[in-house]
Amino acid sequence: MNKFFSVEDAQNPEALVTEALQLKANPRAFEHLGKNKSICLIFFNPSLRTRLSTQRAGELLGMNVTVFNIGKEGWQLEFADGVVMNGDKAEHIKDAARVIGAYFDIIGIRSFPSLADREKDYTEEVINAFYQYAGVPIVNMESATLHPLQSLADLITIREHQGVIERPKVVLTWAPHPRALPQSVGNSFAQWMNRADVELVITNPEGYDLAPEFAGDAYVTHDQKEAFEGADFIYAKNWSSYEQYGQILSQDSRWTVDAEKMALTNNGKFMHCLPVRRNVIVADEVIDSENSLIIDQAVNRVTAAHIVLKKMLEVQG
Amino acid sequence: MNKFFSVEDAQNPEALVTEALQLKANPRAFEHLGKNKSICLIFFNPSLRTRLSTQRAGELLGMNVTVFNIGKEGWQLEFADGVVMNGDKAEHIKDAARVIGAYFDIIGIRSFPSLADREKDYTEEVINAFYQYAGVPIVNMESATLHPLQSLADLITIREHQGVIERPKVVLTWAPHPRALPQSVGNSFAQWMNRADVELVITNPEGYDLAPEFAGDAYVTHDQKEAFEGADFIYAKNWSSYEQYGQILSQDSRWTVDAEKMALTNNGKFMHCLPVRRNVIVADEVIDSENSLIIDQAVNRVTAAHIVLKKMLEVQG
Amino acid sequence: MNKFFSVEDAQNPEALVTEALQLKANPRAFEHLGKNKSICLIFFNPSLRTRLSTQRAGELLGMNVTVFNIGKEGWQLEFADGVVMNGDKAEHIKDAARVIGAYFDIIGIRSFPSLADREKDYTEEVINAFYQYAGVPIVNMESATLHPLQSLADLITIREHQGVIERPKVVLTWAPHPRALPQSVGNSFAQWMNRADVELVITNPEGYDLAPEFAGDAYVTHDQKEAFEGADFIYAKNWSSYEQYGQILSQDSRWTVDAEKMALTNNGKFMHCLPVRRNVIVADEVIDSENSLIIDQAVNRVTAAHIVLKKMLEVQG
């Protein structure tokens, strides 16, 4: 595996999950694979789970892990070609990426969207530029539009908890939030579920439909209750509008996931990627219930990073 | 040892010191104990000695050590239960602590007090919440009211330098400072000395008496010179008022520790936890004298963290 | 080697380059030399290459590497002696350096100049104070006036690319930049080239002459084209004025290095330490040409740090 940007790089998502679960059962099995190998985790934005879980995964493989908060410890990068760089960007991505690629065997990148320019955000210029110039495998640690390590962890979690249900009904529901958030988790979850053996339903207020290339064949409804009926998994997440790009069109608390709505489901499990605004996205009664899988998802972030890094190391030999 | 929050967790402080000194003499003796174990050092506030010494201690035990500046690299945490989280706190401590506890074998926490709300600060909500939710041993790396790794290092230092004196007279003296500082070092030192085989005297201006639960049975005097007479160890530290909580009531330079005052002691040793404001807390002539133990104390911060982490690892097996 | 502050500490720069190239060919040869040894890399200022390359070098030697952003994760340090420290500096360098020196086997320091007080900057008080008090070897990771790891990497790069040319003509050319930058890279490059077997020419606008102690015997001309004629290596760099200290006297884009000027050279190679302002310092056509050595230089930063740390570890035994 030379890049992990989206479900496309997973080839067979279900097979990847199976392999990930084997690794989880025997986490030290490949601790010599990363000996003398190094990874640099580059953060343009804050992170808790991604930072710590990817670091742990690298350590489980015996790698040297370097965390670099590029904006705070380094400087701003220029991404446009041919620019006269007399502004506030001190280095061009071409040069920075080639250098970091020369120092490390694998690079992880977290880079959020501007939420100001949809076309630009959806070109994924940051992560693509690193891939173009660095010359080493690149892991998406949440880019402008996708968060595949999260979605892989989510699919692993669903497989661990679906029990006897053969083809679970999985509902991705928008929920309110006081800040304008990226669409990346929603996009990515939809993209992965479209490739998994599940029935995907997406529910959100009008104006909040996800980009068609990620929503895919999912059934989309603006009626949250309809969506919840008989669901096996409820995945809550806020995102800002894709249509009126980056805008907050609603903070309607009627979209908060509570026990009453969960009662409509098939004893459904509750999922969220964290961090979560309690009693805004979801009521305490739901997130603290036995059906809440949030910690399982977070634990599986290590497993997701573990299998992805393992596959990248195997390619390098 | 499942937590190290105060002298209470040390059970037998003098025995802990004895064991710590054995470890100091043979620092690589347990370097396999931490193999495949990981610790996350979480900083809500700046740190130099605590950060570096705890990191070194973890490495001496063969652990993977991760440093996480949670406020700068992550986000703000909510501690109140049942809150509608639509403000500036992005994640609840319940969720963050459970996740970090799932990723790491031990967690260290540095979290200073607000100095605005005494009752709240003295409940130690941050460190207690991590202990409640993380499910792994927690090390206090200076909390709102206590700094036990410092006090253990201080007691180790006293035992190394008391020579033939059987029950040394130890004086904790307030000294001036331009900023409002926590009471934690003073509280903690008093708490440990009350449990050690020493004669403890505390001296401070009126209005600066420490909380009774930590001052304990110490003799408290507002006459600094009386306190210094015949002292074997002078421990200088500033703290803001406990009574008029968080206030600076005095910056009186007559409380600065100088050579004239040290002349009243029994060839007393000078101690301070660092960082120290020279010529405000203590005159250069004292801190640079042969009787100054400040570097010994700092070196023993590694030893203190070393023995505490060793005891936590032993419990985990 | 107990310090690496300038070319003076290299004793024989050409021999050091030869040894560095041997190490580059066999980078894991000394991975046991740093076992149980630790280095603390202290940053008063941002860094990308220096941070990552020195970290990699330490890991190649098997060391524990700690990165400490002292201003952001710790606090401000006082450097003046005898001061009443009641301002914004929380700790004296004497105390901080002695403590860090007690915790680590080697210390690296990055500390930029103020560009406000030439006399003070050129005393190199920060790095000298660490050397005076820490009691362990100190590596200059770019100080107020010099950047010897960069210059060593540059000399390694020149030796790798001079081919059959016995005594290459090396031109250090000033180039425009929108911000006031230190003279350190220019000073240091000049100092090293004066000690290497090359013909050094320095070209810059009037008012930009480097400090005489570093420019040394180089031929200095204000005519950039004259300088470029027949050059084998063009080393571009901006610096603020030494004479009118810290000032920007020119942003004249006629000093930008472009293909027309490179055509005057002897098929000259282009060098820059990075980060570089493209189309301000140098045109894309030059930096992206086959004659550009910028990535080679960056890669050799690991080699430079590698040989320097190896020599420091050998002294310690």
Q: pLDDT tens-digit profile of B137-160?
A: 999 999 999 999 999 999 999 999
Return the partners of chain C (3 or more C-beta pairs < 8 Å). A, B
Which helix (H) or strand (E) covers residue B109, if one does? strand B106-110
User: Residue C317: its pLDDT value, please?
Assistant: 62
| Model ipTM value | 0.95
Distance CA C55, CA A57 (A): 20
Disruptive mutation site among A43, A66, A99, A107 for chain C (greatest number of C CBs within 10 Å): A99
Query: Considering CB atoms only, which of B85, B102, B103 is closest to A279?
Result: B85
How distant is the Cα of B215 from the closest Cα of chain C, in angstroms? 27
Half-sphere exposure of residue B115: CA atoms within 13 angstroms, side-chain side: 13
Query: Considering CB atoms only, which of C46, C178, C294 is closest to A86?
Result: C178
Q: What is the mean pLDDT of residues A132-159?
A: 98
Disruptive mutation site among C93, C103, C104, C105 for chain B (greatest number of B CBs within 10 Å): C103
Strands C3-4, B219-221: parallel, antiparallel or unpaired by DSSP? unpaired
Q: What is the mean pLDDT of residues B81-93?
A: 95
Distance CA C183, CA C247 (A): 11
Amino acid at B291: N
Query: Considering CB atoms only, which of C51, C279, C288 is closest to A73?
Result: C51
Q: How do residues B17-71 score in pLDDT, each as one tens digit?
A: 999 999 999 999 999 999 999 999 999 998 999 999 999 999 999 999 999 998 7
| Closest by CA position to B27, among listed B300, B297, B316 | B300
User: Residue B316: its pLDDT value, please?
Assistant: 78
Contact between C139 and C4 under an 8 Å Cβ cutoff? The reply is yes
CB contacts of C56 in chain A (<8 Å) are: 38, 103-104
Q: How do residues C80-110 score in pLDDT, each as one tens digit?
A: 999 999 999 999 999 999 999 999 999 999 9
Chain C interface, Cβ < 8 Å to A: 28, 43, 46-49, 51-53, 55-56, 59, 69, 72, 178, 251, 274-280, 284, 287-288, 294-295, 298-299, 302
Task: Indicate if the pLDDT at residue A10 is higher than 70.
Answer: yes
User: Residue C73: its pLDDT value, please?
Assistant: 79
> Could you tell me the pLDDT band of residue B11, with boundaries at 50, 70 and 90?
confident
Chain A interface, Cβ < 8 Å to B: 28, 43, 46-49, 51-53, 55-56, 59, 69, 72, 178, 251, 274-280, 284, 287-288, 294-295, 298-299, 302
Task: Indicate if the pLDDT at residue B297 is higher than 70.
Answer: yes
A99:C49 CB<8 A: yes
Q: Which residues of chain C have pLDDT under 70?
A: 317
Task: Indicate if the pLDDT at residue A71 is higher than 90.
Answer: no
A178:B87 CB<8 A: yes
Angstrom CA distances, A69 to A45, B14, B99, stand at: 8, 43, 21
The chain C residue lying nearest A91, using CA atoms, is C275
How distant is the Cα of A162 from the closest Cα of chain C, in angstroms? 44
Over chain A, what is the mean pLDDT?
97
| Closest by CA position to C181, among listed C249, C278, C130, C233 | C249
Distance CA A64, CA A73 (A): 19
Share of chain B above pLDDT 90, in %: 96
The phi and psi torsions of A295 (rounded to 5 degrees) equal -75, -35
> Could you tell me the pLDDT band of residue B278, with boundaries at 50, 70 and 90?
very high
Query: Considering CB atoms only, which of A48, A53, A178 is closest to B74?
Result: A48
The chain C residue lying nearest B276, using CA atoms, is C91
Does the pTM surpass 0.90? The reply is yes
Task: Indicate if the pLDDT at residue B317 is higher than 80.
Answer: no
How distant is the Cα of B64 from the closest Cα of chain C, in angstroms? 10
CB contacts of C280 in chain A (<8 Å) are: 84-86
Query: Considering CB atoms only, which of A52, A72, A277 is closest to B103?
Result: A52
How distant is the Cα of B62 from the closest Cα of chain A, in angstroms? 13
B40:A52 CB<8 A: yes
User: Residue A151: its pLDDT value, please?
Assistant: 98
CB contacts of A102 in chain C (<8 Å) are: 295, 298-299
CB contacts of C287 in chain A (<8 Å) are: 95
C96:B48 CB<8 A: yes
Report the interhelical angle of C294-316 vs C148-161 (nearest 10°): 120
HEC profile of chain A: CCEECCHHHHCCHHHHHHHHHHHHHCCCCCCCCCCCCEEEEEECCCCCHHHHHHHHHHHHCCCEEEEECHHHHCCCEECCCCCCCCCCCCEEHHHHHHHHHHHCCEEEEECCCCCCCHHHHHCCHHHHHHHHHHCCCEEECCCCCCCHHHHHHHHHHHHHHCCCCCCCEEEEEECCCCCCCCCHHHHHHHHHHHHCCCEEEEECCCCCCCCHHHHCCCEEECCHHHHHCCCCEEEEECCCCCCCCCCCCCCCHHHCECHHHHCCCCCCEEECCCCCCECCCECHHHHCCCCECHHHHHHHHHHHHHHHHHHHHHHHC
Q: What is the mean pLDDT of residues B294-312?
A: 98
Disruptive mutation site among B32, B44, B52, B301 for chain C (greatest number of C CBs within 10 Å): B52
Angstrom CA distances, A300 to B40, B70, B98, stand at: 18, 21, 13
B82:A279 CB<8 A: yes
Task: Indicate if the pLDDT at residue A317 is higher than 90.
Answer: no
> Could you tell me the pLDDT band of residue A285, with boundaries at 50, 70 and 90?
very high
Cis peptide before A275 (omega within 30 of 0): yes
Task: Indicate if the pLDDT at residue B222 is higher than 70.
Answer: yes
CB contacts of A38 in chain C (<8 Å) are: 56, 59
**The token pair that represents B189 in the structure block:** 């030192």
Over chain B, what is the mean pLDDT?
97
Distance CA C170, CA A212 (A): 57
Query: Considering CB atoms only, which of B46, B56, B276 is closest to C73?
Result: B46
CB contacts of B103 in chain A (<8 Å) are: 52-53, 56, 299, 302
The chain B residue lying nearest A256, using CA atoms, is B84
**The token pair that represents C35 in the structure block:** 């076992």
